[in-house]
Amino acid sequence: MTHIAHPYVQRLGINRDWKSRWFATSPAKYREYLRTDAAIRKLLAKKLKGMSIDVVEIERDDKTLRILIKTGRPGLVIGRSGEGATLLRKEVDLLLRKLKLSEKPEIKIDVEEVRSIETSAAIVAGMIQEGLEKRMPFRRVLKQTVEKVMANRDVQGVRISVGGRLGGTDMARTEQLKKGRIPLQTLRADIDYARERANLPYGVIGIKVWIYRGDVFADRKSGAEEKKAPTHRTNRTA
């Protein structure tokens, strides 16, 4: 029986970094930081729903808590004249007060734009979720999404899987659509993975997205990373 590994966790320390970066000096601090990070992510997932959020990264030092939000729609997150970011900082500050932390850090929120949303598995999964919740046929949603993702030159492969009572049928099943390559066992492969759920009147539909963005080669001397360019094959017919 094979073991199914998470594509992101499997590549930590190779071509992926941790989404929470801090160091705890005691077990009590570790528990406090972990509980705080989970609460912050839950709050941001609720407040920023539908804003094409790719990832939320959290960094800490002695007195500062920095939250980095990568999104395909930075204007919606920041708001007019920075009102959205200010309101978000107040929400996080109120949450930290409710948690009754031993030390109250200074909160900093940075927003970074994702230039190519088709290369982000989380954003693509959100697009599929919106389509399914609008009662669109799931096969049409999958086909249109795969074609849109593969139209990006940086993407070499995509795989989308949906499971549940598809189309409102009585028996749940799983359907998937794949195009290109998804080398899950190649650790240098830059594979983005995300899960999402669509809440429909007849049940929950689970969504999984894998996106292959080429191989990553690290230069040992300089530490620089270089992505392998996609190779295009030409088919000749007589």
Residue 223, class by beta-carbon neighbours within 10 Å (0-12 exposed, 13-18 middle, 19+ buried)?
A: exposed
- Please compute the mean of the pLDDT values over residues 188-211 and round it to a whole number: 93
Strand order from edge to edge, sheet including 20-21: 20-21, 53-60, 64-71, 106-113
Name residues whose C-beta falls within 8 Å of residue 226's C-beta, 6 or more positions apart in sequence.
Answer: 216, 217, 218, 219
Are 68 and 85 contained in the same domain? yes
- Domain C-terminal end among 62, 83, 113: 113
State the pLDDT confidence band at 236, using cuts at 50, 70 and 90. very low
pLDDT at 232: 47
In a domain, 238, yes or no: no
- Is the pLDDT confidence value at 175 over 90? yes
Question: Could you give the CA distance from residue 181 to residue 179 in angstroms, rounded to a whole number?
Answer: 7
pLDDT at 223: 44
- Domain C-terminal end among 79, 113, 147: 113
In a domain, 233, yes or no: no
In a domain, 71, yes or no: yes
In a domain, 152, yes or no: yes
Question: Could you give the CA distance from residue 104 to residue 9 in angstroms, rounded to a whole number?
Answer: 30
- Is the pLDDT confidence value at 224 over 80? no
Question: Could you give the CA distance from residue 122 to residue 176 in angstroms, rounded to a whole number?
Answer: 17
Are 143 and 215 contained in the same domain? yes
Q: What's the CATH number where 36 sits?
A: 3.30.300.20
Which residues, listed in sequence order, are joined to residue 216 by a DSSP beta bridge? 227
- Is the pLDDT confidence value at 229 over 80? no
In a domain, 2, yes or no: no
- Which of 210, 185, 196, 222 minimizes the C-alpha distance to 132? 196
Question: Could you give the CA distance from residue 120 to residue 52 in angstroms, rounded to a whole number?
Answer: 10
Are 166 and 97 contained in the same domain? no
Q: Could you tell me the two tokens for 60?
A: 């800490």
pLDDT digits (tens, 9 = 90+) for 82-118: 888 999 999 999 999 998 888 888 999 999 999 999 9
**pTM given for the model:** 0.84
- Domain C-terminal end among 61, 95, 113: 113
Are 109 and 123 contained in the same domain? no
In a domain, 237, yes or no: no
| Domain carrying residue 56 | 7-113
Least confident stretch, 60-64, 145-149, 190-194: 60-64
When divided into structural domains, the chain yields a total of 2
Are 209 and 222 contained in the same domain? yes
pLDDT at 211: 96
160 to 10, 43, 74, 111, 198: CA distances (angstroms): 19, 27, 26, 28, 14
In a domain, 149, yes or no: yes
Are 87 and 129 contained in the same domain? no
